[in-house]
Amino acid sequence: MKEIKIESILQVYDNFNELPEYVSSLMTKAIEARSRAYAPYSNFSVGTALLLDNGEVITGNNQENASYPSGLCAERTAIYYAGSQFPNSKVVRMAITAGSKMKQTTSPIPPCGACRQAIAEYEVKQNAPIEIYFMGETGKVVKSDSLANLLPLIFDRSFL
């Protein structure tokens, strides 16, 4: 038996104002998308904005449903739309922001496991890393150079 160590390195910005302009402009679009979320059940709104290599910006937000599991997270709403409309474009980076109506969300909110798996599919498909930035409503912004940093031991097409 031997142990393996899995390590991820992430970058942390102190706040939105520390982001370079090309990221803060994308995050601004994610914040706008968050304000359009349909989240009457959880009161937890998530917005995301994706930049494609053709210059298009795709936004998405969470869409909830009275039948709870039928709802969809913001990240998958956006990336599936991007995949359906621009199947030959690569996703360069993704900005994510989340906030609750019940309390101020000041810590960075990472994408859920299902969304990580969905984003990983496109990273493998395009054979190029997707930069991910995530934050709450305010506070620190975390950057990952690649989705792979957020999902060790990824399940992908190589196993099929």
Region from 25-33, 78-86, 110-118, 136-144 binding ligand THU, contact rule CB under 6 A: 110-118
* Separation of alpha carbons 16 and 119, rounded Å: 23
Question: C-beta of 64: minimal distance to ligand THU in Å?
Answer: 5
31 scored as a contact of ligand THU (CB under 6 A)? no
* Separation of alpha carbons 19 and 28, rounded Å: 11
Question: C-beta of 132: minimal distance to ligand THU in Å?
Answer: 11
Question: C-beta of 112: minimal distance to ligand THU in Å?
Answer: 4
Which burial class, exposed, middle or buried, applies to 24 when counting CB atoms under 10 A from its CB (0-12, 13-18, 19+)? middle
Total of residues contacting ligand THU (CB under 6 A): 13
- 134 vs 158 by CB, closer to ligand THU: 134
* Separation of alpha carbons 117 and 121, rounded Å: 6
**Helix 21-35 / helix 74-85 crossing angle, nearest 10 deg:** 110
Enumerate the active-site residues. 75
* Separation of alpha carbons 41 and 22, rounded Å: 33
46 scored as a contact of ligand THU (CB under 6 A)? yes
137 scored as a contact of ligand THU (CB under 6 A)? no
Per CB under 6 A, residues contacting ligand THU are 39, 42, 44, 46, 62, 64, 71, 73-75, 111-112, 115
